[in-house]
Structure 1
Amino acid sequence: MLNLNDEFPLAPGLRYLNHAAVAPWPKRASDAVRRFAEENISFGARNYPDWLKVEKRLRERLMRLLNASSTADIALVKNTSEALSFVAFGLDWRAGDQVVISDEEFPSNRIVWEALKPRGVEVVQVNLGGSDPEGTLLAACGPRTRLMSISSVQFASGLRLDLPRLGAGCRDKGVLLCVDAIQQLGAQPLDVQACDCAFAMADGHKWMLGPEGLGVFYCRSDLREQLALHEYGWHMLEHAGDYDRTEWQPARSARRFECGSPNMLGAMALEASLSLLEEVGMDQVAASIEERVLQLQEGLQRIAGIQLHSPLNPARRAGILTFSWDGWDNQALFAKLREQQVICAQRGKGIRLSPHFYTDPELIEQSLTVLSQLRQG
């Protein structure tokens, strides 16, 4: 029977509420890396074929997590920024083309589009503060709009968007939908087919509970060959491993975006972490996260002077709750919480809390007590 205390033996007194930044690994990921290191010490790469089996399982787990139609749609990338760059500098832009984004995006999903300015591409930023953010985003898509790139969950506010509605609206307008899924994948179910995504990407080190340096890039099959390649090497070839072949072509699968040697160390850890999410089930993961966010919300609302900056509607959020406190400077409050081992982040308008499904409700109560004591002090 699964014991989450065994999987997450966090240090005594540590209240970890920072999964929207960098998550702790489950024990099974640590064990996988330890075994991999010990194998390297003893045997080097003798068992490389077995490593490739782990990498294959990782692609299959990512395919299921995204509900992609095939592992051929899945590329293993260094991070979200790299995958966004594959899209931004792969499409055949024309002067006057527009990209629609929100005004709340993490820099990765803004700078990459602004970097296209020399090609004559215009970035249209849409305010999400109204009652119908999807309608506002779609209304901004005009005849020159080529692509909408949006975070499914905004990193600072935690606002979760209705991706199926955006996907249907973009399809009707002939606009490609690109989804930065880093704050949703591993916290909430995500179905790229139901959302009609053209592209989706996420790092493994947040809600997927994996290491930094390894992420996923989903590219719809009909669009793969439309993205011009800018990185070349042995691994992205259709006949990778046939080192004597002189004629070559890029892989037909999304492996065409993986130019060189894979991150096997990261693959060992992330494959193990995703096995935990699959064992629990994403519906249960999402339900448990919502219970913990609601616990935080209700506790914060009991403290006078605290302002919540995240949606209160469960349908509008994933795992993020951001707040500020009258009379407190955000940086000073963040420092005080860290002193008390409440691990969180300073983002947007305040302090961002982000529990995961395994977070012990008692640790949440302790964190709320820390805040109450700060008020009393």
Structure 2
Amino acid sequence: MSAVPIEFPHISGLRYLNHAAVAPWPRRATEAVRSFAEQNSLIGARDYPDWLKIEQRLRLRLKRLLNAPSSDDIALVKNTSEALSFVAFGLDWRAGDQIVISNEEFPSNRVVWEALKPRGVEVIQVDLRGKNPEADLLAACGPRTRLLAISAVQYASGLRLDLLRLGAGCQARGVLFCVDAIQQLGAQPFDAQANGCAFAMADGHKWMLGPEGLGVFYCRADLREHLTLHEYGWHMLEHAGDYDRSDWQPAHSARRFECGSPNMLGAMALEASLSLLEEVGMPQVAAQIEERMVLLQQGLQRLGATLHSPLDPDRRAGILTFSLGGWDNQALFARLKEQQIVCAQRGPGIRFSPHFYTEFAVIEQTLDVLGQLLPG
């Protein structure tokens, strides 16, 4: 943690509690992009082979972050929505097939499945407010269910689901398990193999501390050729780079989902950011986030705030949503913004999402500001 002040300098007075939306970059990511820009302006792509080595390091870091069997299982995509679309419009659906999701999903993990309605696919939404949401989700998986698509952590409530249990339940039922991991990957350890994921995806700009416009798509090896491709180009070919070859086939690796030129600028930043998470270690990252969550929870409870997020540490990652008596959420959000408290208005309240490096002083100052806003 000694390197954190160097990696995350901040504007004096700024309290950043919005990693569940868009995270600040660590200094090393900024330096990587600055160096990349300088190379482009001075020598162009003369050293392009060196850039490809960094991109390969990124794939390996993502492989380790998801515990994928191989970097061949990793595709670099524009965002979570693109990866979800590869699955939704790649599988061979039949009229009457069902997809099970929750009633709390971010639009990216709802609309893409609802868009299959013209093909006769039915989307079943399961209420997560029961005492046993995993049991409720699995109970909704009937004989016509082809896929269970769920967010590892719900974006508004912060509810973290038991992926091991869901994955095992899907396997027992012959149901494909698709995990939107955007609110967990980089905040909590994640294991695509142990969780039994058929597919998993996430953007880099939240808990992975990277830029927008670059994400990861994990596709289990035995399923890659079962997803019909809808995007084609030079980069997704097995023999990419052999431009004079007349016969072609999609890459056997997950690169088959990367149709054209890569986002090399984003790769520079995300590779640098993930190097920091690896240095700290995901168990330590999760433990540090939990310390900050406890501090926020206890402080908000002292203020009499209503908490809309789970209080059980096993049920949360880095999201805590609350409302404050006497305050309309929109008005409270505007007031917090005036005080340079960066957060989000989500679901039934205001969402705080600290990361492992968030200074305790930031949380204490935020709680002081909220205390001053109490009626009377």
- TM-score, length-scaled by structure 1: 0.99
Cα offset for 1:2? 4.4
Aligned pairs for 1:313-328 within 5 A: 313-328=312-327
Whole-angstrom distance in 1 between the partners of 2:226 and 2:194: 22
- What residue is the counterpart of 2:206 in the other structure? 206
Aligned pairs for 1:200-239 within 5 A: 200-239=200-239
Whole-angstrom distance in 2 between the partners of 1:227 and 1:330: 43
Aligned pairs for 1:1-377 within 5 A: 2-304=2-304, 306-375=305-374
Cα offset for 1:232? 0.1
Q: Which amino acid aligns with 1:335?
A: A
Gaps of 5+ in 1: none
Q: Which amino acid aligns with 1:13?
A: G
Gaps of 5+ in 2: none
Counterpart contact for 2:93–2:119, Cα < 8 Å: yes
Identity of aligned residues (%): 78
The one-character-per-residue Cα deviations of 1:164-196 (angstroms, maximum 9, x if unpaired) are 100000000000000000000000000000000
Counterpart contact for 2:326–2:375, Cα < 8 Å: no
Q: Which amino acid aligns with 1:215?
A: G
SS of 2:369's partner is: helix
Counterpart contact for 2:325–2:374, Cα < 8 Å: no
The one-character-per-residue Cα deviations of 1:7-40 (angstroms, maximum 9, x if unpaired) are 0001110000000000000000000000000001
Aligned residues: 376
Cα offset for 1:3? 1.4
Whole-angstrom distance in 1 between the partners of 2:197 and 2:204: 19
Cα offset for 1:204? 0.1
Whole-angstrom distance in 1 between the partners of 2:354 and 2:101: 27
Whole-angstrom distance in 1 between the partners of 2:51 and 2:281: 25
Moved over 3 A (4+): none
Give the alignment's Cα RMSD to 1 decimal: 0.7
Whole-angstrom distance in 1 between the partners of 2:56 and 2:226: 25
Cα offset for 1:326? 2.0
SS of 2:356's partner is: coil
Whole-angstrom distance in 1 between the partners of 2:210 and 2:179: 20
Whole-angstrom distance in 1 between the partners of 2:327 and 2:369: 15
Whole-angstrom distance in 1 between the partners of 2:4 and 2:174: 45
Cα offset for 1:375? 1.1
The one-character-per-residue Cα deviations of 1:31-88 (angstroms, maximum 9, x if unpaired) are 0000000001110000000000000000000000000000000000000000000000
